[in-house]
Amino acid sequence: MNYTALPSVKGQVTIPSEIREKYGIGKDTPLVIEDKGDGVITIRVMRMVDATDIEYYEHGEEVGLNFKKGIDPRLLIKAIKDLDG
């Protein structure tokens, strides 16, 4: 579904309530806004990982993270690099 919005004087745009509810967007929800060029802008909802879902481990010289809910750390690293450019 498409929505039309007009930016405020400050450049703010309201995200329709149906979309906010669908994706659980609240005042503290981080969003990634990406300029794709040619007038195309994407908005993605970032999902925060709860600290209790992450385990730090050390095995000899190896250290790492284990995500209890199955997040692959390699995908996380790739996502961070993609965001950083």
Nearest Cα residue to 63 out of 73, 71, 51: 73
Look-up: residue for tokens 């906010």?
Answer: 20
Phi/psi of residue 51, nearest 5 degrees: -60, -30
Which architecture does CATH list for 1-46?
Answer: Ribbon (2.10)
Where along the chain do its domains lie? 1-46, 49-85
pTM, two decimal places: 0.56
What pLDDT tens digit does each residue of the chain (85 aa) get? Answer: 899 999 999 999 999 999 999 999 999 889 999 999 999 999 999 877 778 888 888 988 888 888 887 777 777 778 888 877 6
* 3-state SS assignment for residue 22: helix
